[in-house]
Amino acid sequence: MLKNKKGFTLIELLFVIAIIGLLSTLAIISLRSARIEARDAKRRADIATLQSGLNVYFDQNDKYPSNGCVWDPLFGAFLCIADQATPWWVPDLRGYMSPPPADPGGHQDPTFDVYIYFPSELADPKSYNLLFMLEKGPQEDNCGLGPVRIGGIAGGSFNLWSTRCPD
């Protein structure tokens, strides 16, 4: 009695499905990491673009733009906070860039999906601070501010933000 064997056994099918599931899981994990790195690269590029706009403003006005944003008593300064709903978060940069960039989002805590600008006009009109939060650390503290608390952001707790200051 010869049987004509056509098709796959149930064990063979389950084995192939398990391998495909494992490969797709690995692909999703690596894709997530690539997306995080891409958003962080965009954050760095946005901050560099913003610094260029601030430098052009400074060259023409001999000071960095002030802002009419929100007074933060902890910093003793006005803060301009960028989110997706605020296209002109540094109002004085109209005409210097169109519009200033906003964070691409993606943080586990959405209160970190912002860029923050504040001029040091009270202490030094020739200085400013830009703060942003990278998803994949470590944060880059180029201004030497250390952990800071920014009003109600992140529940008012102290966090190490990435910073940029004038060169």
- Show me where the domains of the chain are located: 40-164
Amino acid at 84: Q
DSSP 120: -
Q: What is the pLDDT of residue 100?
A: 81
Instruction: Establish whether the linkage from the previous residue to 110 is cis, with ω within 30° of 0.
Output: no
Q: What are the two backbone dihedrals, phi and then psi, of residue 132, each rounded to the nearest 5 degrees? A: -155, 160
Is 139 in contact with 161 (CB distance < 8 Å)?
Answer: yes
Taking 70 as the pLDDT cut, the residues of the chain under it are 1-5, 67-79, 83-85, 121-125, 149-157
Write down the pLDDT at residue 142.
87
pLDDT tens digits for 116-139? 888 776 566 688 888 899 998 789
